Structure formats: structure tokens, C-alpha cells
Amino acid sequence: MLVTYKGFKIDLPYDILQVEYMALEQKINEHIRLNLKVLVEEDKILEYINQPVIGTKVVVKEYNRHIKREVPIFQGKIINVKMDYHGKLHVLELSCISFTQDFDIKKNSRTFCDLDLTYKEVIKNVLSTYPKKDFQDMVTKNQKIDHFLLQYEETDWAFIKRLATHFEALLLPDAGANFGRMYFGLPRLNNNIEIHKKDYIISKDLEKYNKDINISREKLMTQDYTSWEIETNIRLYLGEEVIFNNVRCQVTGVFIHTYKEDIKYVYKLQVYKGVRSIYTTNPKIFGMSLPSIVKERRGNSVRVHFQIDDTYIKRPNNKFFTYALESSAWYCMPVEESKVHIYFPTNDEKDAIAIHAVRIAGSNEKYHHRTINPDHKSFSNTTGSEMKITPKDISFAVDDAKAISMMLKKSGDINIKGKNITLKAANNINFGVRELPPDVEGEPVRPKNIKMSAKENFIITRNKDIGHSINMTDETHIKGNFVKINATPEKLSSKQESLSEESAQNDKELIAEHNEKSKDKLSRDEVKLGFGTMAMTIGGVALSTGSKVLLKKLK
């Protein structure tokens, strides 16, 4: 039903008798609100009270003298219906709000990790789920986001309003649109109006000044927080620039209401320089961490898929989060597809870091056994390499088969397995010698037995010179410029002793003969020797020398 009320045309979804009261309130950064009181017929009361308000719309129009035509100054929906009885009068009270309130109902959580996104693209993404929406970008100039953005438990309206503070800007709802529409940043609206009045209310918001001065990027003055409340018949519009008593101001509030039989226009004017916002953060994220999945790694940073997001889109400039290692001397990055947490040490999402990589393995996964026993400590990677600590041993393995491994057992055993094992030392390598603790006297501890064996060859050389070596194959060859062998004879039987003396005499003659020949030719001829008191388990022993061989028998 379309009715005319004191110069306004009001379109209502109800049949009414007349309008008793109207109040229209407009504020920057807030939704536009309209309150109406209308008289209705008695037989319509129950129908209107029980009628659903979803989809209903209220429109208020007025004549704009600047463009010389009627324009809507409010289009919105009914959010509350109330019936008052005043004697025989039945007054229906309607509370209405602009369609921008659609953006301010549901709290959402999402992230924007692509640093190539512009603020305009972010806002479009946020509003993409609404069938009808629009916004006008007045401040960003296609600027890209400076850092990762997080919307956490915020309505879309609250999040966009917070984004505006990155530019010290404000939101201006467009109540004249029949859907959610707003300005991101205030549009320039100047009708060259000057007002001079002696009647006004002046105030200075020192509480807001004291709060903003600590976080503002620019120098603030208390004068910037001065505002005036005036009443005038001059029609002003939200966001309009005016000159009030020779001071440049901006309209930050409009209140049009019925007073007795008249329409009153009350405006809030603020110093133009003070009409701005201060960088705002989300206090809900302080100390919070969000579970995420590692997607990419670089240095000590990771790219992640936040679990609050439905999908992960790989982009070349996605945000890398620093992974906080437990020690500056320790470098161990979580593997891709492992779970980490993005921690927020402050209210500002740009300070977020990655922490707490969590090892997860289902019962049917390959390495599930590594997470079963809490007494077993496992440090491994996806290729099968593992360092494992149990109450009984410490083991190191290169792969799952443990073909290359080392195990230190609590029992005292050490097992080393590998294809090729190389021991290198700049000075000395000692086998078997274990020094006693400083407070214990005695000789160093030595093992009872040392056994070394090889399937085909066993070679001992000095440097890489095979001219000084012991080579055990089917035969044993001992080579060197000077070979000295000390042997302690076994206790022999009389027959063995006789044979030994005979053999020794023969050996002596052979050695003398060989030494005589060596003086002449200095060659490395092999001479087969039989040592009467040395038992060799290999086929034979050959001594080769370039200068001389000294054999000494110990008695």
C-alpha cells in the first residue's frame, strides 16, 4: 500500500489507515534503520501479526531538489512487528533495516593467502554467495593485499568494515538500493552548502582520541574529534561535505523523525579530517591456532591449506608462513600433507607463524607401527630412513629393509651393516681399547677377542702403496722394504722340537742365501718360507722385501 506522509511516499506490505510516526536513522559504518507507527483496522491485527515478514519490503521516497525528482531514501526489510493498543486505536509498530544487513547475519571463517589478490577481488569473493549485491570501491585503487588476510568468526559486513580500516576508510550503506549495496570508502558529495547557526550541541570524543592515538599511523589532534549536532530545515545527506560556521565538516549522521505534527531534521557534523577509521584487528584470534595441511615448503617456511577453507588453490604468490622450530640450531621441516597449526601471537593475522607439526598415521597406513608404542621415539622421513630410540636400543636405518643400519644395544652389542663401510681418521684409529674413567685406576680395558673376516680378500696397506701390505687370498702375501716378525715358540714334543731345529736350520740357510741375492739385485722376488713355530691356516705365506728381512725367534 502506498501512502503519503508529510512529503514522503511510503510503500508498505500492509493495508493501513494512516501513518502516526516515522523515524529514519542513518550513520556511517552502520545499517540504515527505519521505525514506523501506523494505524490498522482491528480485523487485520491477527493477520499482520502472524504474517511472515521474510521477503517483505518497505520503501520511503522523497523529492530531491538537486536532481529534481523523487528518489528512494530507504529500501529495506521488516525485522520486527509489534502491536500496541491505545484505547480503541490499534497501532502497528514496524522496525525496518537496510538490505546491507544481509551481509551482517552469518559469521564466516575463511582465508585469503594469494598475495596477488587486490582488495577489490577479496571483497568480491566475500560477497559472491549473495544473489544480489554491489559495492563501489572509492579508495583502494586496485591495491594488492599487503599480507595474508583472515576472516574468523566475523560477519561479512564486519570483515569488510575491518578491511576499510587498512585505508583509514569507512563504509557508507546505500539505503536507496533494493538490495545490499554499499560504498567502500566515502564518495565525494558536495553541494556547496554553508550553514551558520548559533544553536547546536558540541562534543569532543576524548575517549576515542586516547584509544586511537596509540595505533594511528598519522599524528592526531583533539580538534579532529570535535562534532556538532544541529537541527535545520536544510536537507543534508549522509557523507555530504558542508561548511558549518566556517569549519569544513562532513555529515556522519542523519536523523529524520516526526515531532508532534512536524518533521525534524537532525544532523551530526564532524571535522572533515577526523572522519576516518583506525587500523583494526580481530581480537578473537589472539593466542589462537588453526589446523592446516602443509602443501609446499621453502627454506624454513611452508604454504598451507587451512582446514576452515573448502579447497586449496595453488597460486604462484601464495603466502609462506615461517615455521617456528624448537631451536635455532635444529632444522627439521614438516613433510608435505602433514598437519601443522598456524598460530596467532597477536590480534593481527599478519603476525601468524606455523608451529606444531603433528604426526598422523591411520591404522592402514605404511608407517602406522611407528606411532603405536609411546615408549618408542621415532625420527624418520618419508623414504624410510629412521632414527629410533627404545628402552633397549638406539638404531639408525637408511631404508625400511634396514640393509644399511647401525644399532647400539643396551646389552653392550653394536651392529653395523652396510654395502661398503669406511673408517677414516686424521691421526689414529684404535680398536678395542677403552680408557677407564678419570677416577678409576688401572690398565685400559681391552676385549678378549677381535675377529675380522672377508669372503675373498683381506688387505692391509699403508696409504695406497701395495708395496707395503698384507694381502690374504688363497695365499698370504706380506710385502715391505723391511719385514720383522717376532714369534714366541710353543712348547713342543721332543720329536717336534727335533723337526723344528732341523727346519730352523734350513730356514736360516735359505734366509742367508736370499739376503745374499737381495744385495745384488734389490728386487721383490717372492721366497717361500716355512716358519717352524708359526701355524698358518691359509695355503702358504710369501714374504717379499726390497732390502732385507729380519726373522727373530723369541725364546
Domain ranges of the chain: 2-101, 106-170, 190-274, 283-358, 458-553
Tell me: the pLDDT tens digits for 384-424?
788 888 888 898 888 877 888 888 998 878 888 888 888 88
Tell me: the pLDDT tens digits for 242-300?
999 999 999 999 999 999 889 999 999 999 988 999 999 999 999 999 999 999 999 99
Which position has the higher pLDDT, 378 or 547? 378
Fold entry, domain 283-358: OB fold (Dihydrolipoamide Acetyltransferase, E2P) (2.40.50)
Section 445-467 average pLDDT: 80
User: What's the CATH number of domain 2-101, 2.40.10, 2.40.320, 2.30.30, 2.60.40?
Assistant: 2.40.10
In degrees, rounded to 5, the angle at the alpha carbon of residue 172 between the alpha carbons of residues 168 and 174 is 160
Q: Do 339 and 358 form a contact (C-beta atoms < 8 A)?
A: yes
- Residue 534's pLDDT band, with cuts at 50, 70 and 90, is very low
529 has pLDDT over 80? no
Say whether 283-358 and 2-101 share the same fold. Answer: no
Q: How much is the mean pLDDT over the chain?
A: 85
pLDDT for 495 equals 61
The conformation of residue 369, written as its DSSP 8-state character, comes to: G
Please give the Cα distance from 519 to 549 (Å, whole number).
12
Section 528-550 average pLDDT: 43
- Residue 227's pLDDT band, with cuts at 50, 70 and 90, is very high
pLDDT for 245 equals 95
pLDDT for 494 equals 66
Share of the chain above pLDDT 90, in %: 48
Most confident range (mean pLDDT) of 38-47, 62-71, 72-81 is 72-81
Which residues have a Cβ under 8 Å from the Cβ of 390 and sit 6 or more positions away?
375, 376, 377
H/E element, 164: helix 156-164
Which residues have a Cβ under 8 Å from the Cβ of 511 and sit 6 or more positions away?
529, 549, 551
H/E element, 342: strand 339-343
- Residue 447's pLDDT band, with cuts at 50, 70 and 90, is confident
538 has pLDDT over 50? no
501 has pLDDT over 60? yes
Query: What count of other Cβ atoms lies within 10 Å of the Cβ of residue 197?
Result: 11
Which position has the higher pLDDT, 127 or 367? 127
Which of the residue ranges 29-33, 49-53, 365-369, 455-459 would you say has the lowest mean pLDDT? 365-369
Q: Do 421 and 405 form a contact (C-beta atoms < 8 A)?
A: no
Section 147-157 average pLDDT: 97
DSSP string of 254-322, one letter each residue: EEEEEETTEEEEEEEEEEGGG--------GGGTT-EEEEEEEEEETTEEEEEETTSS-----TTBPPEE
Which of the residue ranges 65-69, 310-314, 443-447 would you say has the lowest mean pLDDT? 443-447
Which position has the higher pLDDT, 34 or 1? 34
Indicate the pTM of the whole model: 0.76
Fold entry, domain 190-274: Elongation Factor Tu (Ef-tu); domain 3 (2.40.30)
Section 504-517 average pLDDT: 72
pLDDT for 422 equals 84
Tell me: the pLDDT tens digits for 315-354?
999 999 999 977 777 788 888 888 999 999 999 999 999 9
pLDDT for 277 equals 92
Extract the C-alpha cell encoding 144: 594488492
Section 138-162 average pLDDT: 96
pLDDT for 365 equals 67
pLDDT for 510 equals 74
pLDDT for 363 equals 63
pLDDT for 506 equals 72
Section 465-476 average pLDDT: 81
Section 20-44 average pLDDT: 93
pLDDT for 339 equals 92
- Residue 187's pLDDT band, with cuts at 50, 70 and 90, is very high
- Residue 530's pLDDT band, with cuts at 50, 70 and 90, is very low
Which residues have a Cβ under 8 Å from the Cβ of 157 and sit 6 or more positions away?
31, 100, 101, 103, 104, 171
380 has pLDDT over 90? no
